Chain A
Amino acid sequence: KNEVEQSPQNLTAQEGEFITINCSYSVGISALHWLQQHPGGGIVSLFMLSSGKKKHGRLIATINIQEKHSSLHITASHPRDSAVYICAVGDTGNQFYFGTGTSLTVIP
């Protein structure tokens, strides 16, 4: 049983396309994180949110607490967005659970 499920596992898009990555979770959470893992392995925290919506540049993250679902959107995708995107949730007991990631490839 996975506490965090992501879809799709792999995604290929043409440059300029609008991209959506989905995350569903089954635990009660204190916060949800979206992370970006670069091809070299480094991990960057993109968003931390507990309600509503956050925007940073071309990235938008939304969360629906009632439905236990979050989405990460990338507008006007670019090849440099190619990376693995990971959803993680922190539960109310200091534990974190991670999705297996969505591998995104943006083709010029």
Chain B
Amino acid sequence: NAGVTQTPKFQVLKTGQSMTLQCAQDMNHEYMSWYRQDPGMGLRLIHYSVGAGITDQGEVPNGYNVSRSTTEDFPLRLLSAAPSQTSVYFCASSPFPREWGPIYGYTFGSGTRLTVV
């Protein structure tokens, strides 16, 4: 089925460990993004990409790296995990934002619940 696939669904890390959250979409969407969701704060944009080879920072980029070598994949890397990065992470994709023709707009992955101890 077409959509956004995120892995893993759950992860526990120790402070200082590194890991990569995977995100893949098969809808040929140009725009991909990573968000974190924390209680009472809504979703906050970490990094985004408007196409292969192009990435940019969002609202809360510190502590995270991204790359976009293909249209399909947009991994999020935590280089040295900290307890403040305990959150639920969502990957989302859409056709380029300025086009509002599609009915369904954004497509979100199912989320990754990350706990850093």
Contacts and interface: CB of A to CB of B under 8 A. Distances in A.
Interface of A: 4, 30-31, 33, 35, 41-45, 47-50, 86, 88, 90, 94-96, 98-101
B45 A95 contact: yes
Specify the main secondary structure of chain A where it touches its partner: strand
Contacts of B48: 94-96
A43 B35 CA distance: 12
A48 B108 contact: no
Contacts of A33: 105-106
Interface residues of B, number: 30
A88 B43 contact: yes
Interface string B24-40: 00000001010100001
Interface of B: 31, 33, 35, 40-45, 48, 50, 56, 58-59, 88, 90, 92, 97-98, 100, 102-108, 110-111, 113
B42 A99 contact: yes
Given A43-B90, A98-B43, A30 B105 contact: no
B42 A94 contact: no
A43 B108 contact: yes
A101 B42 contact: yes
Contact of A30 (B56, B98, B103, B113): B98
Given A94-B48, A94-B50, A100 B40 contact: yes
